[in-house]
């Protein structure tokens, strides 16, 4: 599954609606600040006990004083996320301060009366947070609470239906003259005269936003949480949509994505021949890296390829004098992992980067003498040679096939009339009385083990099970005994 965020601008609200929106932001911000301050002793307790912090339900009563009852679930989620982030930073940095979303008048008076005991950064931070307004968060899509999106008759206009008021603060609004239908549930809004707790806000949806809203109507996307915020005098509704990923295609080849000094080298391997491409980011910054990831995805779609990337969390190092850093490569591979399932491609396969640039793509040997010789890679084991920038990409492209065709090693020892079998790949150590059928007994028992449900297997055993199910056994069978 994948998520996308669609931000839709609201048509300029009337003076009365703008006042309600501003007041809702103020009530939400004040209630969140009160809940955060009340959660402080609970955060200390969670830190001392080493447990995950959960915002207690009794703390949410603080929101009642600010008429923020419609936002209680969102307030609990936001406060919980802020405190958990604070505890994580404190555990890592030791000097993190407790989160404060807005500074009150009493805080400023305390700081200004004792000016010398505060650093300039602390003073400026509190001044910036004085009386600030936070976005209003909605944690679910629902027609009778939080928020929903309606479509006018003949699809001429979309409306956001947002609950911002409690029962005591409900206001009188004239019923809409348009027939409004919920784009997700299909329910028709039947308004009557009287007080209402929600606002109907016309949305200024452009072609791109309409495209995603139409997918919601067709049932191809599911709206989740949303955010109502103000920016430069205009209001926006940011909606998070969940998409069901298409069934991944059957890959026709593998596409290794290797690093070079200036960008990427890509190698397509179909089991018989290689084909290479070189790509570099057109510019600086994350926008250029996003475009580079898009180019790689388009090539993978054209080839119906399985992407194979370097696992940068395990032993990877920056290339010497490289303008394309390891952080840039890590960002590109993160985008590839996000975009590939959306495009109907298999999820990229990460390969450990330890010694990747000293391994031969053909024989996979890593030893002294394997490595860069000028601008070429030369292997002293098998004699293979090719341009240095292509070697890592070629090794990545060949890795899935090499893994699928590799056999599982089983060490056999004889002790006191017993045969002992140790298979590191299956994480098993079995023994049986010595007999000519001992190896057959091990193979039969190993296959019985892999027929168990995934919940009863270790991660490594599940990996081996997936391997055995995805390819025919190599010549000689899956196991070889030493």
Average pLDDT over residues 54-60: 90
Q: What is the pLDDT of residue 102?
A: 60
pLDDT at 255: 92
Could you tell me if 323 and 457 lie in one domain?
A: no
Q: So what's the pLDDT on residue 119?
A: 63
Q: pLDDT category, 72, cuts 50, 70, 90?
A: very high
When comparing pLDDT for 170 and 482, which is higher? 170
**Segment among 85-99, 202-216, 423-437 with least mean pLDDT:** 85-99
Q: What pLDDT score was predicted for residue 182?
A: 92
pLDDT, tens digit, 9 for 90 and up, residues 178-195? 788 999 998 988 877 788
Please state the rounded mean pLDDT for residues 215-234.
Answer: 92
Is it the case that residue 282 has pLDDT exceeding 90?
no
Nearest to 319 by CA among 269, 277, 282, 265: 265
Please check whether residue 446 lies inside any domain of the structure: yes
Higher per-residue pLDDT: 381 or 479: 479
Residue 301 to residue 297: CA distance in whole angstroms: 6
Residue 201 lies in a domain: no
Q: Among 226, 229, 227, which residue's Cα sits nearest to residue 216?
A: 226
- pLDDT tens digits, residue range 355-382? 777 778 778 776 554 455 567 777 777 7
**105 within a domain of the structure (yes/no):** yes
Task: Report yes or no on 307 lying in a domain.
Answer: yes
Output the average pLDDT for the chain. 84
Return the pLDDT at 98: 81
What percentage of residues in the chain have a pLDDT greater than 90? 31
* pLDDT at 161 exceeding the cut of 90: yes
Number of domains in the chain: 3
Q: Is residue 317 part of a domain?
A: yes
Q: Same domain, yes or no, for 365 and 264?
A: yes
The whole-number average pLDDT for the span 158-173 is 91
Say what percent of the chain tops pLDDT 70: 89
3-class secondary-structure state, position 289 = helix
Query: Which segment of 205-209, 225-229, 246-250, 446-450 scores lowest on mean pLDDT?
Result: 246-250
Of 351, 378, 405, the residue at which a domain comes to its end is 405
Q: Percentages helix, strand, coil for the chain, rounded to the nearest 5? A: 40, 25, 35
Instruction: State the DSSP code for 277.
Output: E
| More confident position, 369 or 324 | 324
Same domain assignment for residues 347 and 442: no
217 assigned to some structural domain: no
Determine, yes or no, domain membership for 219. no
Residue at which a domain ends, from 79, 110, 136: 136
Q: What is the DSSP string of 292-327?
A: HHHHHHHHHHHHTEEEEEEETTSS--PPTT-SS-HH
Which of the four pLDDT bands, split at 50, 70 and 90, describes residue 75?
very high
40 and 58 in a single domain? The answer is yes
Tell me the CA distances in angstroms from 418 to 414, 434, 482, one per residue in order.
6, 5, 16
Residues 401 and 419 in one domain: no
Q: Please report, for residues 207, 314, 386, the alpha-carbon distance to residue 259 in angstroms, rounded to integers and kept in the order given.
A: 37, 15, 16
Closest C-alpha to 128, from 107, 114, 145, 142? 107
Within a domain: residue 203?
no
**397 in the same domain as 273:** yes
Assess whether 385 and 474 both reside in one domain: no
Mean of the pLDDT values across residues 292-311?
91
Give me the pLDDT at residue 289, please. 92
Q: What is the pLDDT of residue 370?
A: 47
pLDDT at 50 over 90: no
Q: Are residues 358 and 453 in the same domain?
A: no
Same domain, 419 and 466: yes
Looking at the structure, tell me whether residues 389 and 458 fall in a common domain.
Answer: no
Q: State the residue range of the domain holding 294.
A: 253-405
With a CB cutoff of 8 Å and minimum separation 6, the contacts of 58 are none
Residue 137: its pLDDT value, please? 94
Q: Select from 86, 104, 136 the last residue of a domain.
A: 136
| Same domain flag for 296 and 413 | no
Per-residue confidence (pLDDT) for residue 354, from 0 to 100? 73
- 209, pLDDT greater than 90: yes
Same domain for 264 and 349, yes or no, is: yes
SS (HEC) of 3-37: EEEEEEEECCCCHHHHHHHHHHHHHHHHHHHHHHH
Q: Could you tell me the pLDDT band of residue 391, with boundaries at 50, 70 and 90?
A: confident
Are 2 and 341 in contact, with CB atoms under 8 Å apart? yes
Span 23-49, mean pLDDT?
Answer: 91
Q: What is the mean pLDDT of residues 279-308?
A: 91
Element (H, E) at 328: helix 326-342
pTM for the structure as a whole: 0.64
Q: What is the pLDDT of residues 235-267, one digit of tens each?
A: 999 999 998 877 788 888 999 998 888 889 999
Angle (nearest 5°) at CA 310 between 307 and 311: 115
């Amino acid at each position: 599954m994948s998520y996308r965020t669609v931000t839709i601008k609201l048509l300029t609200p009337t003076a009365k609606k703008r006042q309600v929106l501003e007041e809702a932001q103020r009530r939400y911000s004040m209630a969140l600040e009160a809940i955060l301050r009340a959660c402080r002793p609970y955060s200390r307790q969670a830190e001392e006990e080493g447990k995950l912090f959960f915002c207690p339900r009794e703390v949410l009563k603080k929101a009642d004083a600010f008429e923020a009852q419609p936002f209680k679930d969102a307030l609990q989620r936001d406060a919980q996320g802020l405190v958990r982030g604070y505890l994580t930073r404190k555990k890592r940095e030791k000097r993190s301060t407790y989160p404060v979303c807005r500074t009150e008048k009493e805080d400023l008076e305390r700081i200004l009366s004792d000016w010398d005991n505060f650093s300039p950064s602390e003073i400026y931070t509190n001044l910036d947070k004085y009386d600030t307004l936070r976005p209003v968060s909605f944690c679910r899509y629902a027609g009778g609470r939080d928020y929903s999106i309606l479509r006018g008759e003949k699809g001429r206009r979309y409306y956001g239906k947002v609950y911002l008021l409690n029962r005591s603060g409900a206001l009188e609004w004239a019923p809409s003259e348009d027939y409004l239908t919920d784009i997700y549930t299909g329910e028709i809004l039947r308004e009557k005269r009287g007080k209402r707790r929600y606002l109907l806000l016309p949305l200024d949806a452009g072609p791109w936003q309409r495209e995603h809203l139409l997918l919601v109507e067709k049932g191809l996307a599911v709206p989740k949480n949303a955010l109502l915020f103000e920016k430069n005098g205009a209001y926006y509704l940011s909606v998070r949509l969940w998409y069901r990923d298409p069934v991944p295609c059957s890959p026709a080849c593998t596409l290794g994505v290797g690093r070079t000094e200036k960008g990427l080298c890509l190698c397509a391997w179909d089991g018989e021949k290689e084909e290479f491409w070189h790509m570099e980011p057109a510019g600086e910054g994350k926008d250029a890296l996003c475009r580079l990831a898009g180019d790689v995805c388009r090539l993978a779609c054209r080839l119906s390829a399985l992407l194979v990337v370097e696992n940068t969390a395990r032993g990877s190092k920056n290339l010497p004098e490289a303008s394309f850093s390891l952080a840039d490569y890590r960002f590109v591979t993160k985008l590839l992992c996000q975009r590939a399932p959306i495009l109907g491609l298999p999820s990229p396969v990460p390969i450990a980067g330890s010694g990747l640039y000293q391994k031969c793509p053909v024989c996979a040997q890593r030893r002294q003498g394997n490595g860069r010789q000028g601008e070429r890679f030369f292997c002293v084991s098998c004699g293979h040679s090719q341009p240095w920038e292509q070697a890592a990409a070629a090794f990545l492209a060949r890795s899935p096939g090499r893994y699928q065709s590799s056999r599982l090693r089983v060490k056999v020892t004889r002790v006191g009339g017993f045969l002992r079998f140790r298979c590191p790949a299956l994480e098993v150590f079995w023994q049986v009385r010595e007999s000519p059928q001992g190896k057959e007994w091990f193979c039969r028992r190993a296959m019985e083990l892999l027929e168990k449900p995934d919940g009863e297997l270790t991660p490594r055993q599940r990996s081996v099970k997936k391997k055995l199910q995805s390819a025919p056994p190599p010549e000689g069978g899956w196991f070889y005994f030493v």
